[in-house]
Amino acid sequence: MSETATTSAGYDAAEEILDRRTPVQRLQTVLHTYPWLSPAIVLVVALVVFGSIADNFATPSNLGTITQQTAIIGTLAIGQTLIILTAGIDLSCGAIMVFSSMVMAKTAYDQGVAGWLALFIGLAVGLLAGLANGLLITRINLPPFIVTLGSLGIFTSLTLLYATGRTVRERELAPELLKLGSPINIGGFTLTTGVLVMLALYGCFAFVLRYTAWGAHVYAVGDDPDAARLAGIQVQRVLLSVYAVAGLIFAVTAWVLIGRVGAASPNSGEGDNLDSITAVVIGGTSLFGGRGRIIGSLLGALIVGVVSNGLSVAGLDQAYKQLAIGGLIIVAVTADQWIRRARA
Amino acid sequence: MTATTTTGAVLQARGLVKAFGRVVALDAADFDLFPGEVLAVIGDNGAGKSSLIKCLSGAYLPDAGDIYLDGEAVHFRRPQEARAHGIETVYQTLAVAPALDIASNLFLGRERRKPGILGSVFRMLDGSGMRRDAREQMTKLGIGTLQNMTQPVETLSGGQRQAVSVARAAAFGSKVIILDEPTAALGVRESAQVLRLIQNLRERGMPVILISHNMPQVFEVADRIHVQRLGARAAVVTPATVSITDVVAIMTGALKVPLEDQTLTPVR
């Protein structure tokens, strides 16, 4: 109670200063301000738990392996984060990735196109696929869920028809396409160039989202599209650009995928569509848009990688992975609902 | 009947017509806003006040009639064009992005980039500069309690959010600020905050158009009251010389005001 609050201005000031929040409300505010904090805690806990139950888990070589296993979901999750920040969703990201990877491999092997050019064509295909999703969403005003559910089927089918059920094997692949699989040794940790590409993309998009007008507009559009429109932002144009950029990121992931698998197979990456959404959601980005940090998605992808790898190193059943990740998703979305109600 | 233009008005309209199919929303409506005044626009539902304001703010293109800004004829096809001419609008729907902070909201859609290569090549925003200007703007408007420009807008009360909208309009509106039912979504105490802001704007010499249903509020802050009825201006009165009952009578058509009686001169 403040006894000096006699004037109305004084009363306002007193109300600002008096902090009547409980510790739980304070926690809510902290998590609200730093959305990447909860996935960071979960990741540390997972590392400690598996480190203590499996002797050969916390070794540099195994941790390096985890980053390699995370590279594909982690890179896909960058594009997925951009889309989810606009309150959209992309169920077709894995299908776009696999289709792009087949285009890269087959134009080089079947048509004899130079490796770099084949790579470029594959990236262009990913960009166009994302653009097609974006055009359907912005021009015909279809919900992103429906559009990408449809394009998931279309791109999966196109991949199978185009590949005629055949895998392009390692010795048939142009060397440029395998570039992101080459190992790099940093102090005992064996990474790949693909992992470095993923980290560079995270750095790039963290910067773009934080420090550019486009980044602010992505958040504003996801937050409240009407308010964004009234502020003079061209909402449809921002959405279209997000889906196109995400398509390009999915195609870059195709390059990472070929390097990681050492082949281009029409059947790879089947679970990746949903796994990328899982990584983003566990990473603290809100499915309702406008809230989250891209670095959280990297943490989310690493959590999935650590749990999966840890279970197999500890000799436990992989079925526990689905259990743990499924539980984490529900906890993450519940936490998001709660954190959204925070008042500073 | 074509009325002549009055000299000295910041924003004026003559003979505006806007029809939607067979419904005539504006029927040769006139409008005058003088420098430094708060002009309230009131009228019953369907009187055309919303259409009038939308023509002035560029949301509608009138079918006929002229709009003059500082005596020059203007034709706004989109709200952005009106905005580029210094006419800013604050909407009743709290048009802010809740997750973004105060400074980002103030500069939303008009972000400023850093000078030099950081801005031109890396497209980097001038975050510290925008925060500094945002704080200055908030202080100027007497919203000194909001000091942390990195605070997300969703942590603010409704009145404070509307204050951010008004501050945004005041920061960029160089000629006219239009407030469309700014207190409709707010409680009593928060409405009082917004009314104080309007008075601050007037003290700084900024002409304000206030659309409102709330008669006591209108009588509290307006210098003149434009009464819209059946798509045209029925009267312009000053709160000092008429009662709320008279104004309601004009609004409903119970009281007719002869054209020559209307106070068309600014009060100050």
Q: Please tell me the distance in Å from A14's CA to the nearest CA on chain B.
A: 11
Say whether B243 sits in a helix, a strand or coil: coil
State whether A213 and B111 contact (CB < 8 Å). Answer: yes
Q: What is the pLDDT of residues A278-330, one digit of tens each?
A: 999 999 999 999 989 999 999 999 999 999 899 989 888 888 888 888 998 89
Q: What is the pLDDT of residue A50?
A: 92
Interface contact B80-A232, CB threshold 8 A: yes
pTM of the shown model: 0.84
Using a CB-CB distance cutoff of 8 angstroms, which residues of chain A are in contact with residue B151? 344
Residues 88-117 of B with CB under 8 A from A: 91, 93-100, 104-105, 108-111, 113
pLDDT at A13 over 60: no
B216 part of contact set with chain A, CB < 8 Å: no
Rg of chain A taking only CA atoms, in angstroms: 22
User: Closest to B111 (Cβ–Cβ): which among A216, A290, A291?
Assistant: A216
A343 to chain B, any CB pair closer than 8 A? The answer is yes
Q: Which amino acid is located at A122 in the chain?
A: G
How many angstroms separate the Cα of B205 from the Cα of each of B165, B199, B208, B223, B268?
Answer: 19, 10, 9, 13, 11
CB contacts of A19 in chain B (<8 Å) are none
Specify the pLDDT at position B100.
Answer: 87
Among B95, B122, B124, the residue with its CB nearest the CB of A227 is: B95
Q: What angle do CA A254, A258, A263 make, to 5 degrees?
A: 135
Among A214, A226, A228, beta carbon nearest to B93: A226
β-strands B224-229, B208-211 pairing: unpaired
Sign of CA dihedral B19, B25, B31, B33: negative
Instruction: Return d(Cα A147, Cα A153) in angstroms, integer.
Output: 10
Q: How far is B221 from chain A (nearest CA, A)?
A: 20
Q: pLDDT of B116-158, one tens digit each?
A: 888 778 788 888 888 888 888 888 777 766 778 888 888 888 7
How far lies A292's CA from each of A38, A41, A86, A283, A286, in Å? 12, 16, 11, 8, 6
Does position B258 have pLDDT exceeding 80, yes or no? no
CB distance from B83 to chain A under 8 Å?
yes
Segment B188-238, tens digit of pLDDT:
887 888 888 899 889 888 999 999 888 989 999 999 999 999 988 888 888
Interval A111-126 mean pLDDT: 93
Mutate to test the interface with B, among A224, A229, A234, A237 (most CBs of B within 10 A): A224
A232–B110 CB contact, under 8 Å: yes
Which member of B98, B109, B125 has the closest CB to residue A231? B109
A residues 39-78 lying closer than 8 A (beta carbon) to B: none
B-chain CB neighbours of A291 within 8 Å are 99
Q: Quick one: pLDDT at residue A189?
A: 84
The beta-carbon neighbor of A224 closest among B97, B109, B124 is B97
B117 CB burial (10 A radius; 0-12, 13-18, 19+): exposed
Check pLDDT > 80 for residue B260.
Answer: no
Measured between beta carbons, the chain A residues lying within 8 angstroms of B96 are 224, 227
Query: Which percentage of chain B shows pLDDT scores above 90?
Result: 25
In the prediction, which pLDDT does A139 show? Answer: 95
pLDDT tens digit string along A131-171?
999 999 999 999 999 999 999 999 999 999 998 888 888 88
> How many CB pairs below 8 A link A and B?
74
d(CA A87, CA B27): 42
Environment class of residue B261 by beta-carbon count within 10 Å: exposed (0-12), middle (13-18) or buried (19+)? exposed
Matching residue, tokens 């992103």: A144
- What pLDDT does residue A29 have? 79
Spatial distance between the Cα atoms of A95 and A101, rounded to a whole number of angstroms: 10
